A = this chain, B = another copy of it.
Amino acid sequence: MEIEIATIGGYEEVGRQMTAVRAGDDIVIFDMGLNLSKVLIHDNLQTESMHSLDLIDMGAIPDDRIMSELSGEVKAIVPTHGHLDHIGAIPKLAHRYDAPIVGAPFTIALVEDQIQDENKFTVNNDLVTMEAGETMSIGDHTELEFVNVTHSIIDAINPVLHTPEGAIVYGLDKRIDHTPVIGDPIDMDRFREIGRDGVLCYIEDCTNANKKGRTPSEAVAREQLQDVMHSLEDFDGGIVATTFSSHIARVSSIVEFARDIGREPVLLGRSMEQYSGTAERMGAISMPDVDMYGHRQSVDRAFERIMNEGKENFLPVVTGHQGEPRAMLTRMGRGETSYDLEQGDKVIFSARVIPEPTNVGQRYQSETLLGMQGARIYDDVHVSGHLSQEGHYEMLDALQPENVIPAHQDMKGFSGYVDLAASQGYKVGRDLHVTTNGNVIQLVE
């Protein structure tokens, strides 16, 4: 059976992930992501109303025109988890394919939100929910399986396409976490089983491939957060926290420690409300009595209530961990909310600034504004959601793949992975495929 891999997007950047695998006549698409930074560099773009071709030209969504080179039929579109760089292009591209969108429950819920916000295209693809550990037939000889993985969002899976030529394992995005705060540990046993049965190709998340060692478990971030928050138990001023809205486990830890130190957590900001609200409505987490507000007016009322009842009794969890100019925390720094920051108030960034000059600059501005009002910063109370080098070694050891394709980075980002794969016997030009967007790699002719 012919096997081809089309590296459509996310092979020259972190963002706009999209990969297609053809096994005989059947094609499965993994991820359809958005590169948000290509949108934000322009002022005031409303992507909801934009045409896909314009977004492709901007480098914001994958250039899927290469799909015409694959002679087969798309049977499924499979987002691996709910981050925008994996699902954000679905509203723009999915309607071109007569295939269901298959994902884990939380992922599908977020895809639904994406589709609802879309103004330009009508997306009628079926939405199919599949849990980690389950499988689905793709054509006669090919089967799709979801293996449970651990990442900075709940319900992350790695899809595996079982073909007569061996398994294709699509490894985006994960870290190896044996003690996640929410959900099950990564299913390394299953990966090892798949490895024993034969893996034709492994596509790897190289985000941190230039970092030594092991990405710590979420349990470590939780311990850091506990240490910071418990150290503020006796403090009677304002405390504000910010983190990735989609990072449900982290938000959940913040909520818990807020209660430990006698404060009422309140989630504020559109995306903060969206992700945690969705997770709770689905039963993925339980946050009884935690108020969440997304709309500007209800956020404003919440801030007023906090000030009236005493900010020492609350812990607002807000958007703005990257210093985004229009996020809640930046607005607080500009004095645009009724939350009154005072000398000595604390702001906890349970996030790391993405090391790109625009972000660094915006975050610096946000911290400067907060500092001008007297706030003090607890930075980097965080661990990454992506594998570092030792995780890559573990995955190669478990899967023993015949071919390896580094992804989720650019060439510079791949370089650490190329070195480590080479140390394990892989060779560029033979079974280690260093590639860019828009290529088709033929694995079995």
From A223, A369, A379, residue with most partner B Cβ within 10 Å: A223
- Whether B360 and A357, one on each chain, are in contact in the complex, defined by CB atoms closer than 8 angstroms, is yes
- Whether B214 and A378, one on each chain, are in contact in the complex, defined by CB atoms closer than 8 angstroms, is yes
Q: Copies per complex?
A: 4
- Whether B411 and A434, one on each chain, are in contact in the complex, defined by CB atoms closer than 8 angstroms, is yes
- Whether B217 and A227, one on each chain, are in contact in the complex, defined by CB atoms closer than 8 angstroms, is yes
Instruction: List residues of A (398-445) whose CB comes within 8 Å of B's CBs.
Output: 410-412, 414-416, 418-419, 422-423, 427-429, 434-436, 438-439, 441
How many Å lie between the Cα of A422 and that of B411 in the bound state?
A: 12
Chain A 210-233 near chain B by CB (<8 Å), digits 1 or 0: 101110110110011001101100
- Whether A415 and B418, one on each chain, are in contact in the complex, defined by CB atoms closer than 8 angstroms, is no
Q: Note all chain B residues with C-beta closer than 8 A to A125.
A: none
Q: Note all chain B residues with C-beta closer than 8 A to A364.
A: 356-358, 361
Q: Note all chain B residues with C-beta closer than 8 A to A220.
A: 220, 223-224, 227
- Whether A179 and B227, one on each chain, are in contact in the complex, defined by CB atoms closer than 8 angstroms, is yes
Name which residue of chain B comes closest to A344, CB basis.
B393
Name which residue of chain B comes closest to A363, CB basis.
B357
How many Å lie between the Cα of A422 and that of B13 in the bound state?
A: 14
Q: Note all chain B residues with C-beta closer than 8 A to A438.
A: 427
Is A368 interfacial (CB-CB < 8 Å)? yes
How many Å lie between the Cα of A434 and that of B224 in the bound state?
A: 33
Name which residue of chain B comes closest to A40, CB basis.
B365
| Cβ-neighbour of A410 out of B361, B369, B415 (below 8 A) | B415
**Closest CB in chain B relative to A291 CB, distance in Å:** 27
Q: Note all chain B residues with C-beta closer than 8 A to A334.
A: 43
**Closest CB in chain B relative to A445 CB, distance in Å:** 16
How many Å lie between the Cα of A369 and that of B357 in the bound state?
A: 13
- Whether B434 and A377, one on each chain, are in contact in the complex, defined by CB atoms closer than 8 angstroms, is no
| Cβ-neighbour of A379 out of B212, B410, B423 (below 8 A) | B212
Is A380 interfacial (CB-CB < 8 Å)? yes
Is A376 interfacial (CB-CB < 8 Å)? yes
How many Å lie between the Cα of A435 and that of B435 in the bound state?
A: 11
Is A165 interfacial (CB-CB < 8 Å)? no
Is A41 interfacial (CB-CB < 8 Å)? yes
How many Å lie between the Cα of A16 and that of B434 in the bound state?
A: 23
Q: Note all chain B residues with C-beta closer than 8 A to A179.
A: 227
How many Å lie between the Cα of A438 and that of B427 in the bound state?
A: 9
How many Å lie between the Cα of A216 and that of B364 in the bound state?
A: 23
Instruction: List residues of A (132-168) whose CB comes within 8 Å of B's CBs.
Output: none
- Whether A439 and B435, one on each chain, are in contact in the complex, defined by CB atoms closer than 8 angstroms, is no
How many Å lie between the Cα of A343 and that of B423 in the bound state?
A: 9
Name which residue of chain B comes closest to A411, CB basis.
B415
Q: Note all chain B residues with C-beta closer than 8 A to A217.
A: 227
- Whether B214 and A369, one on each chain, are in contact in the complex, defined by CB atoms closer than 8 angstroms, is no
- Whether B439 and A434, one on each chain, are in contact in the complex, defined by CB atoms closer than 8 angstroms, is no
- Whether B216 and A224, one on each chain, are in contact in the complex, defined by CB atoms closer than 8 angstroms, is yes
Name which residue of chain B comes closest to A333, CB basis.
B41
| Cβ-neighbour of A429 out of B359, B360, B411, B435 (below 8 A) | B435
Q: Note all chain B residues with C-beta closer than 8 A to A393.
A: 344, 376
- Whether B227 and A380, one on each chain, are in contact in the complex, defined by CB atoms closer than 8 angstroms, is no
A376-B393, A427-B439, A429-B441 provided; 12 other pairs, C-beta below 8 A?
A41-B369, A41-B372, A213-B377, A216-B224, A220-B220, A343-B423, A356-B364, A358-B361, A358-B365, A360-B361, A418-B436, A428-B439
Which 10 A-B pairs rank lowest in CB-CB distance, beginning with the nearest? A361-B361, A357-B364, A412-B415, A411-B415, A223-B223, A213-B378, A428-B436, A217-B227, A411-B418, A357-B361
Q: Can you list 30 A-B contacts with CB-CB less than 8 angstroms, sorted by A residue number?
A: A41-B365, A41-B368, A212-B378, A212-B379, A213-B378, A213-B380, A214-B227, A214-B231, A216-B227, A219-B223, A220-B220, A220-B223, A220-B224, A220-B227, A356-B364, A357-B357, A357-B361, A357-B365, A360-B361, A361-B365, A411-B412, A411-B419, A412-B415, A412-B416, A418-B436, A427-B436, A427-B439, A428-B435, A428-B439, A429-B441
